[in-house]
Amino acid sequence: MMEKLLNLPVVASEHGRAVDQFVVLVHWLMAPLFVGWLLFFLYTLWRFRSSRNRKADYAGVQGHASTWLELAVVSFEGVLLIGFAIPLWARAVDDFPLEKDATVMRVVAEQFGWNYILPGKDGKFGPQDLAFISAENPFGFDKSKPETKDNIIAVNEIHVPVGKHVIMNFSSKDVIHSFKVVPMRVTQDCIPGINIPQHFLPTKEGKYQVICAQLCGNGHAAMAQGVVVVEPQAAFDAWLESKATGGGPATSFE
Ligand SMILES: [Cu+2]
């Protein structure tokens, strides 16, 4: 009932259902809290009405009822956090799929677009170094190395095979961005200088919009051109084949 009421967006990843259940649960748990506070508010309006309390009471509350009430609210919220939120989060960060069972890539956000770097056939990323960075080589790959030669760079549009884990390693070239794909129930900040791994398992074929969930500058909205295409393995292989190889250059976003 609540799910219908909340009109949650389509789910296209394995863990998405659990996220939705959690959202529903939060609503159910918040309902008594909402009603409780509302009743308390109405009670205080009536109890401290001006016809009954002409003069302010400087002594204030003498009893301990409010302390117990506060404690009850804190423990209620503690159950939410410790009983539900932390275990769900722990499951997401601990149960990482093996790289050999996943489509592994690096995602480098920038003002204003998404760069995806895939390792190519050999499954290895080329070595990167600050010294190699130039306009033609924005990610500083060592182009002399064979691992680099078959690296694949995709801009704004990424394809992934359906039913196979995806591991994305997030970072950013400039400011903090946030990779968000609602149907996948994935949101991850991209922070310059930090590599943050995240994973999900797409279960439904389709074309899904990527948005940036951190206000990152003038062209922030343009990052919503990002697309994740979930397709059968064969179509994914064909797409990989069609991409330019060699670790660069990245297409410009203009
Ligand atoms: Cu952004």
Please, which residues bridge with residue 207 across strands? 229
173 C-alpha to center of ligand 1: Å? 11
SS3 68: helix
Q: What is the pLDDT of residues 166-210, one digit of tens each?
A: 999 999 999 999 999 999 999 999 999 999 999 999 999 999 999
CA distance 164 to 201: 6
Cα end-to-end span (Å), the chain: 46
50 C-alpha to center of ligand 1: Å? 52
CA distance 30 to 194: 35
215 C-alpha to center of ligand 1: Å? 6
221 C-alpha to center of ligand 1: Å? 8
109 C-alpha to center of ligand 1: Å? 7
Going residue by residue through the chain, which has 254 residues, state the pLDDT in tens, using 9 for 90 and above. Answer: 677 778 889 999 998 988 898 889 889 988 998 999 999 999 999 988 888 878 887 887 788 888 998 999 899 889 989 998 898 788 777 778 888 889 999 999 999 999 999 988 778 888 888 888 888 888 888 888 888 888 888 889 999 999 999 999 999 999 999 999 999 999 999 999 999 999 999 999 999 999 999 999 999 999 998 999 999 999 998 888 887 554 444 443 33
Q: Is 134 exposed, middle or buried (0-12, 13-18, 19+ CB in 10 A)?
A: exposed
83 C-alpha to center of ligand 1: Å? 33
Tell me the pTM: 0.79
199 C-alpha to center of ligand 1: Å? 20
Please, which residues bridge with residue 208 across strands? 228
Q: List the beta strands (DSSP E) in the chain.
A: 102-110, 113-118, 152-155, 157-161, 165-172, 177-181, 186-190, 196-200, 206-212, 226-231
9 C-alpha to center of ligand 1: Å? 22
23 C-alpha to center of ligand 1: Å? 25
